[in-house]
Amino acid sequence: MHTVFNPAATMFGSTEWYEREGDVDDVAFPSGLVLDDKTGLLKIYYGGADSCIAMATASLGDLLEYIRKCPEPKNEALC
């Protein structure tokens, strides 16, 4: 497998109280997404602190632009 883009910064992390306090503190993990083809809006479903399910939204275009602007990975073993 070859890494095409590797964002240097965290794109998804725990910031809200329901992501930071629960069965496993400070954990937010994506579990699925839905893309609205007409608007380009992603709905990202994720678990927070192993105790709730939440949804975040992002523009697919903005997300791809961010990823493409990230520097090349220095060590593919880290991907």
Helix extents (H) in 1-79: 17-20, 60-69
The residue type at 48: G
| Over residues 47-68, mean pLDDT | 91
| Edge-to-edge strand ranges of the sheet holding 41-48 | 28-36, 41-48, 52-59
Burial of 15 (0-12, 13-18, 19+ CB in 10 A): exposed
Q: How far apart are CA 36 and CA 61, in angstroms?
A: 12
pLDDT at 79: 47
pLDDT over 90 at 27, yes or no: no
What is the reported pLDDT for 28? 87
Intra-chain end-to-end CA distance of the chain, in Å: 10
CA atoms within 13 A on the CB side of 20: 4
Residue 55 has pLDDT above 50, yes or no: yes
Q: How confident is the model at residue 75, as a pLDDT? A: 62
